[in-house]
Amino acid sequence: LAKTTQPISMDSYEGQEVNITCSHNNIATNDYITWYQQFPSQGPRFIIQGYKTKVTNEVASLFIPADRKSSTLSLPRVSLSDTAVYYCLVGGSMNRDDKIIFGKGTRLHILP
Amino acid sequence: GAVVSQHPSWVICKSGTSVKIECRSLDFQATTMFWYRQFPKQSLMLMATSNEGSKATYEQGVEKDKFLINHASLTLSTLTVTSAHPEDSSFYICSARSMGASTDTQYFGPGTRLTVL
């Protein structure tokens, strides 16, 4: 299982773009990278998933370099409601026995 | 997106009693579901992997006789905390694996807050 490393916490201001980088040096060939958002007393919410290069949806963008040893979640124009913990997870290959282990995540605090 | 529900959302019980938590995938079938536990200000800790029609696989340190898991159908897994004690008080979260064309994605339930008095 690939281990992930993220900054423990980040602060930003409303309207800014926020980039959270995750390191996963031991990522396997079949592994995908998935980001989740979690608010207090709620289950994690799926944000975005990718394998390589760039993926964009209505919420965020995910940038993955060619070596796939890191990834960056980009949140455009954040608001106060984006204050949450963000988890970077690696796995999701079509292996029945595959499981995802959560790291400590990044606590993002958006300031007015 | 895929929806996973949990019931109840919160429960308070007396020490020594058993509590059952249900996890349902509402719009997809899930052969695999996962159960996590989360303490305040900490990350999610995987407790067990639940596969439909077979015995659950427990993580090291998780007592299988205390945390009974049943995955009787492709849309329902249950976690029963037997003889609950105050130290079992926690936030329990399930997830269900949705199989895609090239990969799969876990979708999480809203969680169940268990308080044991």
User: pLDDT tens digits for A25-35?
Assistant: 999 888 899 99
User: pLDDT tens digits for B31-65?
Assistant: 899 999 999 999 999 999 988 888 899 999 999 99
Residue of A nearest to B46 (CA): A101
Q: Is the pLDDT of residue A96 over 90?
A: no
Q: Which carries the bigger pLDDT value, residue B105 or residue B81?
A: B81
User: pLDDT tens digits for A47-71?
Assistant: 999 999 999 999 999 999 999 999 9
In angstroms, rounded to a whole number, what is the distance separating the alpha carbons of residues B49 and A101? 12
- Cβ–Cβ under 8 Å, residues B13 and B72: no
Residue of B nearest to A46 (CA): B107
Which of the 8 DSSP states describes residue A100? -
Q: Write out residues 43-82 of B within 8 Å (CB-CB) of A.
A: 43-46, 49, 51
Residue B68: per-residue pLDDT? 96
Q: Write out residues 45-104 of A within 8 Å (CB-CB) of B.
A: 45-46, 49, 51, 87, 92-94, 96-104
* SS3 call for A43: coil
Instruction: Identify the burial level of A72 via C-beta atoms within 10 angstroms of its C-beta, where 0-12 means exposed, 13-18 middle and 19 or more buried.
Output: middle
**Best of A1, A22, A42, A89 to disrupt the B interface by mutation (most B CBs within 10 Å)?**
A42
> How many CA atoms lie less than 13 Å away from A81 in the CB half-sphere?
1
- Beta-bridge mates of residue A54: A63
